[in-house]
Structure 1
Amino acid sequence: MDFDKLSTVMRELALLAGDKIMEIYAADDFDVRAKSDESPVTAADEAADAIISAGLRAAFPDVPLVTEEQSASHGQTVSTFLIVDPLDGTKEFIKRRGEFTVNIAYVADGVPVRGVVYAPAKGRLFYTLADGQSVEETGPFAKDNIGETEEIAVSHPDNNALLVVASKSHRDQATDDYINQYSVKAMKSAGSSLKFCLVATGEADFYPRLGRTMEWDTAAGHAVLNGAGGQVVRFDNHTPLTYGKPIFENPFFIALAPGVVLEKA
């Protein structure tokens, strides 16, 4: 894989998709439909997917592509592939809360090694450089010219005063019960893959997810977190979360800065 090209292409496609998403977001109304699993989908999901998929297939025709909005791609058995969630946080989009993201990642041998997470309504753009280091770029974002970037790194957590981030739309009692085992200094909620990025920037120490997710929900944020010195582990046994699983479904997991002492599941 040409990582210089990959970084450039993923960043540009995320920005193009973000522009289309915001165009639809600004409309007075937009259609919301239910997919077969009852999750919502909008024209923004589909338009962003079309932009990203076409761009990735043109740039990397020999690399398998998995994307949330194309169910035919979910039956593949692969360990090295591109994976896309064109609009993560559709519920946040529908409720116009702004915490939705564009997610593109490259998984190599089951590990998300490069990725981009773009939150267009929040003006936040995170991605891995060609060497794997994660950065946050500050806007305004130009497609053909990278702006100011800052390397990001996870926190040095204090286990007596942890900073925790949890899901805004999927918080439940089991999550709260687990978090209550820790000494928590501050707790925040966030939507979509932004939670991974908050751990990657040191704005949070860890993020537990005790609920169903798919690999396209997590791969880009996982790659950004990896590039900032963090990690994602399975909730049940604290081993690394891997990718290319059957139907691309994740077990429960914890995203964290090294140094957080994890409690047993």
Structure 2
Amino acid sequence: MDHSQLVTVMRRLALEAGDKIMEIYQADDFEIKSKSDDSPVTAADEAADAIISAGLRAAFPDVTLVTEEQAASHSQRAETFLIVDPLDGTKEFIHRRGDFTVNIAYVENGVPQRGVVYAPAKGRMFFTLADGRAVEETGPLDKDSIGDTAPLSVSQADNSALLVVASKSHRDQATDDYIGKYAVKDMKSAGSSLKFCLVATGEADIYPRVGRT
């Protein structure tokens, strides 16, 4: 795999999908449907999936593609594949809370190698450079070129004053009980894979999750 091409394509498709998601997000109304597991899905999920899937299949036709919105892809078996969640945090999208992300990753021999997490409503782009470094893009998000970036670096946690990020949509008593075991300085709520990114940037020390994600 040409990692330079891979990163360029994944980043561009995430931005293109993000534009479409925001177009629907800013509309007066949008249709909400239910999937077979009763989780919600919107036109934004489907439109973003169409953009990303078409782009990945065109660029990497020989690589298996697994995407959340295409159930038929879930039964595929491969050690090397591309995996997509075109709109993670659909509930955040529906309630217009902004904490939703576009997620694209490349897994090689069972190990995640490169990935993109884009939060279009927040204007935040996290991804892996071709050389394997994880960064956040800090400059203008141009589809054709990567701007300035800053390396991701977790915090040096102070166990007497922890910074916690917890789920907005899946907060429960078990989570609160877990958090209560620690000395917490500040706690924020966030949705989708954005929570992991806040830990990766050092904006939070821990993300407690005691149930299924």
- What secondary structure, in the 3-state scheme, does the structure 2 residue paired with 1:156 have? coil
Distance 2:108 2:183 in 1: 36
Q: Deviations over 1:149-180 (max 9, x none)?
A: 11121111122221111111111111111222
CA contact (8 A) 1:123 1:139 kept: no
CA contact (8 A) 2:139 2:149 kept: no
Superposition pairs of residues 113-262 of structure 1, within 5 angstroms = 113-213=113-213
- What secondary structure, in the 3-state scheme, does the structure 2 residue paired with 1:6 have? helix
Distance 1:9 1:69 in 2: 20
Superposition pairs of residues 25-64 of structure 1, within 5 angstroms = 25-64=25-64
Distance 1:176 1:42 in 2: 30
CA contact (8 A) 2:7 2:128 kept: yes
Distance 1:15 1:139 in 2: 14
- What secondary structure, in the 3-state scheme, does the structure 1 residue paired with 2:37 have? coil
Distance 1:108 1:186 in 2: 37
- What secondary structure, in the 3-state scheme, does the structure 1 residue paired with 2:122 have? coil
TM-score normalised by the chain length of structure 2: 0.96
Distance 2:22 2:12 in 1: 15
1:256 maps to none
Q: By how many angstroms is 1:145 displaced?
A: 1.9
- Structure 1 runs of 4+ with >4 Å offset: none
Instruction: Single out whichever of 204-213 and 188-197 deviates more from structure 2.
Output: 204-213
Distance 2:121 2:136 in 1: 15
Q: By how many angstroms is 1:92 displaced?
A: 0.6
Superposition pairs of residues 50-89 of structure 1, within 5 angstroms = 50-89=50-89
- What secondary structure, in the 3-state scheme, does the structure 1 residue paired with 2:14 have? helix
Distance 1:211 1:6 in 2: 33
In the superposition, relative to structure 1, how do residues 180 and 111 fare at CA in structure 2: closer, same or farther (>3 Å)?
farther
- What secondary structure, in the 3-state scheme, does the structure 2 residue paired with 1:74 have? helix
TM-score normalised by the chain length of structure 1: 0.78
Distance 2:105 2:117 in 1: 9
Q: By how many angstroms is 1:139 displaced?
A: 4.5
Q: In structure 2, what residue type is equivalent to 1:58?
A: A
Root-mean-square deviation (CA, aligned residues, Å) is 1.1
1:245 maps to none
Q: In structure 1, what residue type is equivalent to 2:172?
A: D
Q: By how many angstroms is 1:79 displaced?
A: 2.8
1:260 maps to none
